[in-house]
Structure 1
């Protein structure tokens, strides 16, 4: 069976289909390349501020980034729920519902994004209270936050846009949009932050510009290619029976995303107790962890689309084959990524900061950052499977259980081993997430396909 081209509105995707390496890679490779621009952006932002030579500026940027991760990634349900529901509609051949899911998600995104701007002073105060940076770091964080929050509506709209694109398996379009957003951001971050000397304000304004341009272009592409003959009515878009599962998915995924960001926030909070140099070093190493995470997210996206499509088509063989093949690819790539970071990681640190004390500190903990690719591979993949299958309640519950294990590990390891214990706890958290979810797959898949018959 051939794949539909980007935005091609036909029913070729409906019914049984064969999962092949080519099909997996047609989604995973473009999205991996697209997602790699996001940690690349983080690396550039870190390098821009790092080359100003002040650990306080780098630490302030790190705290600000965590606050925005907490805010925006909490709303990642807009992307995830859209992907799962669109993929299943795609598998059924229900083009009207595909469009309806997009409109529901986009409207929610714009409303929530506007609300974020209105309550931004409260969000900033809460974030600073939770992370408790010193006065100098707090001042840097405030400057960064006050500008970047303006991207709220556009950032959330991009979640809905990307969710629709991924749900249809349109990896090339996803790559183009991600490259556009982050490419603009990277160029402006260097120009405004470094060459014009605007520092963290320039980095924040670069982000706003990239998100706004990306949202406008993505919306225009999707709208222009919609088939008007199957367009949903407003009554269909806002039908209670359709909104209820969307809000249920959104609730569960939002809780899961909030807990995930709480885990990273806890790591940053504990890191502040080790001083600004260690906090800055951890920030550099977390950028490396994000490279591994986004690198593997391309395969997770392939798993989302293919498992969701298989469930929509009610075709169990495609589900099982997609799970097995994407797992093989994920573990192989994770192993190669870990080796690469172990060999070249210190050189990467040197590119990210010129501060000698931060470099020396980061070298010590580099092996912990390098193995996050291996410990996190199954977690990333299982997130994709559970999102595509819309098993959101299970994903939420296993995240809560993994966080409990993570908190216990930190209580035991940090007092005994300091920052080493902090990084060991993060790796255990990643392992918990993947193994807990994987244990549920046989039972949940049997139930899902049995009920579909």
Structure 2
């Protein structure tokens, strides 16, 4: 077969790669910002400042992660409109999602006092560190509309197949944040307030760039925005249906992660630290697998929008090949160099020794978790989010918690077994739904795609 043919397996793999690599690169910029935040705070004379920023940043990581459905839902809906060549529908998805994002951001600002108070109470830091974290959070909360709107813009660009714009947004956000960290803290002598203010300015800088790129894209896109649809609550039904299921799914995933951390903490500081080090292996794996999952969201969504089962099959296969290859590479790296990676992450001997005991879990984890990343991408692209919600609920209630309960005598091995079982069951359930719907021919709707462009 000719590899230059646009309909060959190699061409589909290339399409997936071209979408994925900017997303993988943008993921790698995130830990760089964390390192700079830690470095500038770590050089201040009092360790409480570092603790305050760490606690405050953790609070916002959980808070904003809970609204990640804005990115995922927008990607799936925009990709389907792109596949259907419904340019007015693309405009409508963007406008609706941005309105929802700004409304939620303003609501978060209005509720900042109870939200911050509850969040810091749950994180349970010392009084001095909690006071500094509250100062950080009070400033950082003002970025909520920008953060949520940026989720929408990233999702929309990805749905249109433009992952390079998402890279630009992430780069600008993190680079502005890093520069202002250095200026405010090292240059102007600010502390936690400087780090928080740097984040706020960076978020709005990325939003300004995103809106400018959005206007450029809309000028070339064609179509028109059906303005009356913005004021009709019924017109938001699909957006709310997709995003509400994703929101519940995300909350369940947050619970699973928080439960793992809390149960590790109950086993002592060394176990807690060792688990935190090993979780960085999972984070590293996600940098690669997330990129191909996001590419699958965009490509699957476009195939669904075009009602093209052949294209759907080709994109799923290409994304699966890339994902499995990357997962295998991570498993090999962890098997051969896992102890070296642990040594790079910590120089505390007892933490290194403890992490080495549980390192085999990390070797098998990429090969097991790859399916959940890939299937999430497929289901998001097809906007089949209710299945994602239901399988996540079953995996948490039917596998994770029962497995943890019956394996508590195994200590931390039991905790890792429960967490691994949760991942396997979730992937198996999603895979079962995928196969069943495939056999029934339900992945590509049989009815013609509704085009907003056809509206009078």
Unaligned runs of 5+ in 2: 1-6, 449-456
- 1:261 matched to 2:254? The reply is yes
Q: Find the residue that maps to 2:442 and give its secondary structure.
A: helix
User: Residue 252 of structure 1 contacts residue 396 of structure 1 at CA under 8 Å; is this kept in 2?
Assistant: yes
Matched with 2:444 is 449
CA contact (8 A) 1:77 1:254 kept: yes
Q: 1:281 to 1:406 in 2, by over 3 A?
A: same
How far residue 238 of structure 1 moved from its aligned partner, in angstroms, is 3.6
Q: 1:328 aligns with which of 291, 299, 321?
A: 321
Deviation at 1:343, TM superposition (A): 4.2
Gap change, CA 1:55 and 1:291, over 3 Å in 2: farther
Q: CA deviation at 1:383?
A: 0.9
Q: Which position in structure 2 is the counterpart of 1:117?
A: 109
Q: What does the per-residue CA deviation read over 1:61-89, in whole Å, with 9 as the maximum and x for residues that have no partner?
A: 66544432331121111111111111000
Q: Could you tell me which residue of structure 2 aligns to residue 411 of structure 1?
A: 405
* Deviation of 1:122 (Å): 1.5
Larger deviation, residues 214-223 vs 268-277: 268-277
Identify the range of structure 1 (125-134 vs 262-271) with the bigger mean alpha-carbon deviation. 125-134
SS at match of 1:375: helix
Q: 1:95 to 1:397 in 2, by over 3 A?
A: same
Q: Deviation at 1:185?
A: 3.0
- Aligned pairs, how many? 437
Deviation at 1:406?
1.4
Distance 1:82 1:89 in 2: 11
In 2: Cα distance, 1:361 partner to 1:52 partner: 31
Q: Are the equivalent residues in 2 in contact too, given 1:41–1:185 (CA < 8 A)?
A: yes
Q: CA contact under 8 A between 1:342 and 1:367: conserved in structure 2?
A: yes
Gaps of 5+ in 1: 1-15
TM-score by length of 2: 0.84
- Residue 149 of structure 1 deviates from its aligned partner by 2.4
TM-score (norm 1): 0.85
Q: 1:391 aligns with which of 377, 384, 387?
A: 384
Q: Please say if 1:437 is aligned against 2:430.
A: yes
Q: Contact conserved, 2:13 with 2:322, CA < 8 A, in 1? A: no
CA RMSD of superposed structures (Å):
3.2
CA contact (8 A) 1:47 1:352 kept: no
Question: Deviation string for 1:394-449 (max 9, x for gaps)?
Answer: 11101111111112222233x32333433333332222222211111133342242
* Matched residue, 1:4: none
Of the candidates 313, 319, 329, which is equivalent to residue 306 of structure 2?
313
Structure 1 residue corresponding to 2:263, chosen from 270, 276, 286: 270
State the Cα distance separating 1:373 from its structure 2 match. Answer: 2.8
In our comparison, the structure showing a higher alpha carbon Rg is 2
State yes or no: 1:31 paired with 2:61.
no
8 Å CA contact retained: 1:55, 1:277: no
